[in-house]
Amino acid sequence: MSEPLSPELRSFSFGGGVQSTAALVLAAAGRLDYRTFLFANVGEDSEDPATLAYVQRYARPYAADHGIELTTLRRVMVRSKETRTLYGELTREGSKSLKIPVRMSNGAPGTRSCTADYKIQVIGRELKRRGASEINPATVGIGISLDEIERANNRRCERHERIDYPLLTLGLRRIDCARIIRGAGLPIPPKSSCWFCPFRRPESWHEMRRSRPALFERACQLEDLLNARRDELGKDHVYLTRFGKPLRQAIPDGVDVLFNLSDDGDGQCDSGWCMT
């Protein structure tokens, strides 16, 4: 006689952005059946500082006040037990890693493994540790809203998981998520992503240069470092925007509205594990 299956594991992949925070509010109100939210932090040196500040100041206390688990996870190497960050991996001496979707000279994004390595696998390992298996998979909620339905992709998960899109089920758009957050008395969080993510939209880069020039300069320096290594390898340069030129040139200083930098629809991660 086979042993009974453990109770179903249900967790929400929390990114610290608008959709994830709306899901947290809905869970607190009993409208979503999630009491565990897992935040795969790609690194204190990698996540946008504004997102980390919001999670610490608003999301974490709100979750605690409503009896919801909000746990931060990090990428820990299985053999060495070393904790790695995405920025650290990109910049460590001798590294040839290009895990982020840098833009090639034609503007197309290159291959990437950052989402898989620092989001999907990190949450997958935690759920397996908690008892998820192929015969008893965990349900993982992803914060994709109706206006981004094209990002829904059930293939991007571990075999001991199944993906759920509760905001789609409720028919919610991003603007609805913002309304839900305000209704809970919380400020609207900034859009979540790594501060150097090549999927940032041009207007986001421009806003960073205007309001957070030191962080923008760090992104420029990262791009410089990656290309210095490309020069040593005899490879073409790569960029953090789709414009085929260095970030400092692609995002001019002192310009309020850049109509030629408007997004053309390719400036987002299509997995749903990031930027929610």
As a CATH number, domain 10-78+114-197 is: 3.40.50.620
Q: Which residues of 229-250 are buried (b: 16+ CB within 10 A; e: fewer)?
A: bbeeeeeebbbbbbbeebbeeb
Report the 10 Å Cβ neighbour count for 162: 14
pTM score, whole prediction: 0.89
* Residues 138-197 pLDDT 10s: 999 999 999 988 888 765 667 899 999 999 999 999 999 999 999 999 999 999 999 999
pLDDT over 60 (residue 265): no
pLDDT over 70 (residue 258): no
Identify whether the C-beta of residue 223 lies closer than 8 Å to the C-beta of residue 88: no
Q: For the chain, which residues make up each domain, given as ranges?
A: 10-78+114-197
pLDDT over 50 (residue 90): yes
CB proximity list for 58: less than 8 A, separation 6 or greater: 21, 186, 187, 189
Euclidean distance between CA atoms 211 and 267, whole angstroms: 21
Report the 10 Å Cβ neighbour count for 45: 14
* Residues 4-43 pLDDT 10s: 445 689 999 999 999 999 999 999 999 999 999 999 999 9
Q: Kindly give the pairing relationship between strand 36-40 and strand 69-73.
A: parallel
Provide the mean pLDDT of the chain: 89
pLDDT for 63 equals: 98
